[in-house]
């Protein structure tokens, strides 16, 4: 009886899905992105969820969904030259103490237009992210604090092309500090998912990504990277370093989807090449 009484403060997975009106996949994503925490009490084979946390989340979910007109206005796009001033302003607001060279950011996107991303609500930027294709040795310098990602020169950024492996460094990911806690949670999750989709889209184009590296020194940042599936790697600084090896990460959704799309793109490229070769060899 005491044991049964103790579990009154928890919901089972089935009870959570019923209360929130969600599927198995949605529950998985809510746990993955840190909206809910799955707990494994001693003596149980399946995870449970704290009632107070689920009840609070249910209220937040209802409030957020009631503003569905906002969801329809949410966009995730590449930063253009005209967006740079607002992108720099927001980045400096999110990461206090950081001062960016707007001119260099313009040179970045002229070199590679797929390195700066923004999450916008209507025309207002509320989130930002930087995905830099860099040489492995430059990434290692950043991890050792021998170089700064904020001070990367445009010529150090690689341009995407097929049949060449790339290494990505993700940095500057955040949402506006003026948002309330609930909106930060939702828009942060949306930003994270869209970063994943941007990487998957590279696979669709046949761009080969070998590794993705990121680092953080905040509790939320470290938790998010772990939730996504990044593997912690050694660090000699106060920041915690993480990496995904795309060829070996068969347990990470982003990597699985990326590799699937990459194989499709390679197959299509091979078929086109064979067709072109055949046409060249056929007599006129």
Domain range for residue 16? 2-66
Asked if the structure places residue 278 within a domain, the reply is no
- If pLDDT is split at 50, 70 and 90, which confidence band does 154 have? very high
Q: How confident is the model at residue 97, as a pLDDT?
A: 85
- If pLDDT is split at 50, 70 and 90, which confidence band does 5 have? very low
Split into its structural domains, the chain has a count of 2
Per-residue pLDDT averaged across 198-211, rounded?
96
34 with 164, same domain?
no
Q: How far is 197 from 258, CA to CA, in rounded Å?
A: 9
For CA atoms 20, 34, 88, 197, the dihedral sign is negative
Ranking 107-111, 191-195, 224-228 by mean pLDDT, the lowest is 224-228
Distance of CA 142 to the CA centre of its chain: 19
Largest CA distance in the chain: 87
Whole-number Cα distances in Å, 181 to 59, 98, 186, 216, 270 = 14, 23, 9, 20, 49
Q: How confident is the model at residue 126, as a pLDDT?
A: 96
Q: How confident is the model at residue 25, as a pLDDT?
A: 82
- Among residues 244, 241, 160, which one has the least CA distance to residue 204? 160
More confident residue, 248 or 111: 111
Across the chain, what does the average pLDDT equal?
88
Q: How confident is the model at residue 237, as a pLDDT?
A: 96
Q: How far is 76 from 62, CA to CA, in rounded Å?
A: 23
Map 112-181 to HEC letters.
Answer: CCCCEEEEEECCEEEEEEEEEECCHHHHHHHHCCCCCHHHCCHHHCCCCCCCCEEEEEEEEEEECCCCCH
More confident residue, 1 or 242: 242
Last residue of a domain, one of 24, 41, 66: 66
3-state DSSP assignment of residue 102? helix
pLDDT higher than threshold 90 for residue 151: yes
Q: How confident is the model at residue 64, as a pLDDT?
A: 59
Share of the chain above pLDDT 90, in %: 57
Residue 267 burial (CB < 10 Å; 0-12/13-18/19+)?
A: exposed
89 with 196, same domain?
yes
- Among residues 63, 234, 212, which one has the least CA distance to residue 132? 212
Dihedral class, residue 96 (left if φ above 0, else alpha if ψ from -120 to 50, else beta):
beta
147 with 30, same domain?
no
pLDDT higher than threshold 90 for residue 230: yes
Asked if the structure places residue 248 within a domain, the reply is yes
Domain with residue 42: its CATH number is 1.10.1660.10
pLDDT higher than threshold 70 for residue 228: yes
Q: Give helix 181-204 / helix 51-65 axis angle, nearest 10°.
A: 80
Q: How far is 124 from 50, CA to CA, in rounded Å?
A: 36
- If pLDDT is split at 50, 70 and 90, which confidence band does 127 have? very high
Contact 255, 221 (CB under 8 A): no
């Amino acid at each position: 009886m005491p044991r049964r009484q103790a579990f009154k403060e928890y919901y089972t997975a089935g009870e959570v899905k019923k209360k929130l009106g969600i599927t198995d996949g949605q529950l998985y994503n809510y746990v993955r992105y840190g909206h809910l925490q799955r707990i494994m009490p001693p003596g149980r084979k399946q995870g449970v969820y704290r009632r107070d946390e689920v009840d609070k989340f249910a209220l937040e979910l209802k409030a957020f969904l009631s503003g569905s007109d906002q969801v329809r206005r949410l966009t995730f796009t590449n930063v253009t030259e005209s967006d740079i001033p607002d992108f720099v302003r927001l980045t400096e607001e999110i990461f206090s103490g950081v001062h960016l060279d707007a001119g260099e950011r313009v040179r970045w996107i002229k070199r590679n237009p797929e390195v700066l991303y923004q999450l916008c609500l209507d025309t207002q930027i509320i989130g930002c992210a930087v995905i830099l294709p860099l040489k492995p040795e430059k990434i290692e310098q950043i991890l050792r604090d021998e170089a700064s990602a904020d001070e990367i020169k445009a010529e150090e950024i690689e341009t995407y092309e097929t049949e060449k492996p790339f290494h990505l460094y993700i940095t500057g990911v955040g949402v506006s500090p003026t948002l309330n806690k609930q909106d930060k949670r939702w828009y942060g999750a949306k930003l994270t998912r869209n970063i994943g989709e941007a990487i998957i889209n590279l696979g669709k184009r046949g761009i080969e990504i070998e590794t993705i590296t990121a680092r953080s020194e905040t509790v939320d940042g470290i938790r998010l990277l772990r939730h996504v599936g990044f593997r912690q790697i050694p660090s000699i600084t106060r920041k915690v370093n993480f990496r995904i090896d795309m060829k070996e990460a068969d347990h990470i959704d982003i990597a699985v989807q990326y590799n699937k799309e990459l194989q499709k793109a390679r197959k299509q490229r091979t078929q086109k090449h064979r067709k072109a070769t055949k046409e060249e060899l056929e007599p006129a």
